[in-house]
Amino acid sequence: MNGLAVLSKAMFQERKDIILSILGGFIAGIAGVALFSASGYMISQTVFAPPLYTLILLTSMVKLLGLLRAASRYGERLYSHQATFSMLSRLRTSFFAKLIPLTPGILNKNRSGDLLARIVGDVESLQNYFLRVAYPPIMVVMVFLATVLFTSAISFWIAVLFILGMLVTAFVVPGIVLLGQRKINGRVREQRALLSTEVTEVLYGFRDLKVYGQLAQREGQLQQASAVLAAEQQRAAGHLLRGQSMHALVTFLISWGVLALGAYLIMDGALAGVFLAMLIMASLTVFEEAAAMATLPAYKEDSEHAAKRLTETVQSTEVLSPQRGGVLPVDHAISIELSGVTFQYEGEWRPALRDISLHISPGSKTAIVGASGSGKSTIIELLLKLRAPTAGDIRLSGLSVNELDETSIWQAANVVLQQSHFFRGTIRDNLLLDGEEHSDDQLSEVLTKVQLPDKSLTDMVYEKGENLSDGEKQRLALARAMLRKGRLWLLDEPTSSLDYVTEQHVLKQLYAQAAKDTLILICHRLAGLEEMDRIVVIDQGKVVETGSYWELMEQKGYFYEMKNIERQMIGEVAHI
């Protein structure tokens, strides 16, 4: 679904606030025009020396109009902002709903952080669409039409002039500005992204660049990119400025036209002279309402760009196969069968997994080991149906993953991902993510099992678990998994930040609970693997060895050598 369509829907849902703000804006606009027209008219009237009370009446009216204008402006601002923020909430929820089925599919391996931040930013720039893009033309047209209606009672031709002015300011000038806008803005964005990437690169590579004596050259490149960016930005701003000046000139020309036409009509006897000052005042004021039109092109381009990107993001992987209704039974341990599974991340040049075939019998304990980047974690994502294999078939308890409903797999699995996410809230909130009922005693018991007896259930966890150490996060994630009742354990380096002793304590508890379940443990530390039924060694997406710890050590193959290297490790590898 289109980004702007989502937006229109949100706008429609906030119609009450929108109508109120349009009403407020309209009254304010009209009151302004009336106020200045009235003062022009009043001054003209003095030439005829009218009785004083008419004047007092007029001036009181002017003041009342002034107050009315200020008050309805207040209302306009209040309701329009209220509507904007409500729309933001709707936009966020609807895009979140759209992203649920697409994650993690849309997350490229490297740039997921950028993508998420971009989605947040784009949704936020969409919220401006109503206030800065959709709203101003409505206002201009309404206030102008009211003014035209009023002036047409005085002079047909002047009314025509107003209509002309409205068309030019509301459509022609913004149209002209928009024409060049897109291209220029595209260039600015490109140049900015380029500079940003280059600055980041230099900062990350600072040490190497310095040693290679490349810093001076790099600085030259950066300075040049920066100068180009400033020049492009100046061009873009200059373009907008030209639009604004054009807008100002048109308003002057219309006022001038009112004067010239009015003078001609008065000479001609078609218009009473007393209205001239009033009409001029009206023409000067009515364009004040159109001031927001001058910034419209910039916002329009921005929010449309955001909408386009959001649409692309949301649509990029809509080829996901529909969920089948198959349910994974959890009354017994689950067997896993991978046959010829290959997986390649989008945009990567080589597959993360190549032709993997594995049979994991129910109730067995398997460790998957290999260098970082060898494709271990991808296996877990495939088992959880978070991603679909490029080729090959995966079966859980004999049922093809394609046929299974993804939620039934998730319910059957106790998962610890490499990067567990924690939310703002208490420890209890974070433990009870799945919404199941557990007594506080149970929760405390689990905390003790994962060697976190000091944590209280009411302790606060900050966003992304910022106030927890890596080790604490891992233990909490383990606790979270241990509270579930699944029969399949999928653990991706669940203890990599724990010291050896704690790791062994925690794993012992976990193995006790998982005694009858199928368990897959991904690890890059090779200690403690003696207890596993089988070890699968992966290198560059391929299975190079499988067997029990002793078998593999006997073979003196890949695993044996890895083990030897690990024995050599000293210092920070494992803080004992």
Partner 1 sequence: MKRNRKSGLISGQMSSQRKNMTLLAVISLALGAAIVSQAGLLAEAVQRVFVERASFSSVIVLLGLLLVVMVVRTLLSYGNGKIGLRMAAAAKTNMRAAVLQNLTHATMPSTLRGQTGGKVSIALDAVDEADSYFSQYMPRMMEAAMIPILILVVTFILHANTGFIMLFTAPFIPLFMILVGLKTKNKSEEKYAQLAEFSGTFLDSLQGLVTLKIFGRAHRQQQEIERSSLGYRDATMGILKIAFTNTFMLESIVMLSIGIVALELAIQLLVFKSMTFHTAFFVLLLVPEFYSLLKNTGTAFHSGRTSMGAVRKVEGMLQETTGESRDTNGNEGAGTSDGIKSEIFHPDDLSRLPSIELDNLRFRYAPDSFELETGRISLGPGEHIAIVGKSGSGKTTLLHLIAGLLKPASGTVLVNGIPLSQYDETAWFQQVSYITQHPYIFAGTLADNIAIGAGGNITRAEIERAAEEAGLAALTAQLEHGLDTIVGEGGRGLSGGEKQRLALARAFLKRPLLILFDEPTVGLDLHTERVLQRSIAKLAKTATMITVAHRLYTIQQADKILFMDNGVLVDSGRHNELLERLPQYAEMVDVQRKGGLSS
The SS3 assignment for 197 reads helix
Distance CA 451, CA 500 (A): 13
List the x/- string, 176-195, binding to partner 1 by CB under 8 A. Answer: ----------------x--x
| Residue of 8, 9, 20, 99 that binds partner 1 (CB under 8 A) | 99
Nearest to 146 by CA among 296, 282, 250, 45: 282
Three-class secondary structure assignment of 398-415:
CEEHHHECHHHHHHHEEE
CA angle (177 as vertex; 172, 178 as ends), nearest 5: 95
Region label for 540, one of left (φ > 0), alpha (ψ between -120 and 50) or beta (otherwise): left
Q: Is 263 among the residues that bind partner 1 (CB under 8 A)?
A: yes
Binding residue for partner 1, selected from 434, 440, 470, 554, defined by CB under 8 A: 434
Measured from the Cβ of residue 181, the count of other Cβ atoms closer than 10 Å reads: 20
Q: Which of residues 132-151 bind partner 1 (CB under 8 A)?
A: none
Site for partner 1 (CB under 8 A): which residue of 11, 35, 310, 356? 35
Say if CB 48 and CB 162 are below 8 A apart.
Answer: no
Choose one: 149-157, 162-170, 412-420, 438-446; the region binding partner 1 (CB under 8 A): 412-420
Q: Do 106 and 313 touch, CB atoms closer than 8 A?
A: yes
With CB under 8 A as the contact rule, the residue among 437, 441, 454, 572 that binds partner 1 is: 572
Q: Count Cβ atoms within 10 A of the Cβ of residue 402 and give its class: 0-12 exposed, 13-18 middle, 19 or more buried.
A: middle
Report the site for partner 1 in 507-536 (rule: CB under 8 A).
524-525, 527-528, 530
One residue of 1, 19, 57, 120 binding partner 1 per CB under 8 A = 120
Kindly state the smallest distance separating residue 47's Cβ from partner 1, in Å: 6
Report in angstroms the alpha-carbon separations of 16 from 37, 78, 141, 513, 524.
Answer: 31, 13, 20, 56, 58
Binders in 39-78 for partner 1, by CB under 8 A: 39-40, 42-44, 46-47, 49-50, 52, 55, 58-59, 62-63, 65-67, 69-71, 73-74, 77-78
CB of 146 to partner 1, least distance (A): 19
Is residue 547 close enough to count as binding partner 1 by CB under 8 A?
no
Interface residue with partner 1, options 142, 160, 176, 248 (CB under 8 A): 248
Q: Which amino acid is at 89?
A: S
Under the binding rule (CB under 8 A), the answer on residue 253 touching partner 1 is: yes
Task: Report if residue 415 touches partner 1, rule: CB under 8 A.
Answer: yes
What is the secondary structure of 225-283 as a DSSP string? Answer: HHHHHHHHHHHHHHHHHHHHHHHHHHHHHHHHHHHHHHHHHHHHTSS-GGGHHHHHHHH
- Cα–Cα distance for residue pair 426/476, rounded to 1 Å: 12
- Using an 8 Å Cβ cutoff, are 286 and 162 in contact? yes
Write a three-state SS string for 425-461. Answer: EEHHHHHCCCCCCCCHHHHHHHHHHCCCCCCCCCCEE
Amino acid present at 263: A
Binding part of the chain for partner 1, among 173-181, 421-429, 439-447, 510-518 by CB under 8 A, reads: 421-429
Query: Which residue from 295, 366, 374, 474 is in contact with partner 1, where contact means CB under 8 A?
Result: 374
Q: Which residues contact 354 (CB under 8 A, 6 or more apart)?
A: 342, 540, 541, 542
Q: How many residues bind partner 1 (CB under 8 A)?
A: 160
Listed ranges 18-26, 248-256, 326-334, 395-403: which one lies at the site for partner 1 (CB under 8 A): 248-256
Determine, following the binding rule CB under 8 A, whether residue 561 of this chain makes contact with partner 1: yes
Minimum distance of partner 1 from residue 101's CB (angstroms): 9
Cα–Cα distance, 326 to 329 (Å, whole number):
9
92 near partner 1, judged by CB under 8 A: yes
For the bound state, the minimum distance from the C-beta of residue 539 to partner 1, rounded and expressed in Å, comes to 6
Q: What part of residues 192-221 is at the interface with partner 1 (CB under 8 A)?
A: 192, 195-197, 199-216, 218-219
User: Which residue, 269 or 398, has its beta carbon nearer to partner 1?
Assistant: 269
Min separation Cβ 562 and partner 1, Å: 6
Residue 86 engages partner 1 in binding (rule: CB under 8 A): yes
**What is the nearest approach in angstroms of partner 1 to the Cβ of residue 171?**
20
Q: Is 417 in the site for partner 1 (CB under 8 A)?
A: yes
Selected binder of partner 1 within 463, 469, 470, 515 (CB under 8 A): 463
End-to-end CA distance of the chain: 54
What are the b/e assignments for 450-471, b being 16+ CB within 10 Å? bbbeebeeeeebeeebeebeeb
Residue 104: asked if its preceding bond is cis (omega within 30°), the reply is yes
Q: Which range in 87-95, 128-136, 319-327, 393-401 contacts partner 1 by CB under 8 A?
A: 87-95
Is 494 a residue that touches partner 1 (CB under 8 A)?
no
Out of 148, 166, 277, 535, which residue is the one contacting partner 1 (CB under 8 A)? 277
Residue among 420, 474, 495, 518 that touches partner 1 (CB under 8 A): 420
Asked if 169 and 247 touch (Cβ cutoff 8 Å), the reply is yes
Pairwise CA distance, residues 312 & 19, whole Å: 31
116 lies in the site for partner 1, by CB under 8 A: yes
Q: Is 264 in the site for partner 1 (CB under 8 A)?
A: yes
Instruction: Scan residues 287-316 and list those touching partner 1 (CB under 8 A).
Output: 288
Residue 495 within binding range of partner 1, rule CB under 8 A: no
Going by C-beta distance under 8 Å and a sequence separation of 6 or more, which residues neighbour residue 274? Answer: 41, 44, 45, 47, 48
Q: Shortest gap between Cβ of 284 and partner 1 (angstroms)?
A: 8
CB of 482 to partner 1, least distance (A): 13
Radius of gyration for the chain, computed over Cα atoms and rounded to the nearest angstrom: 35
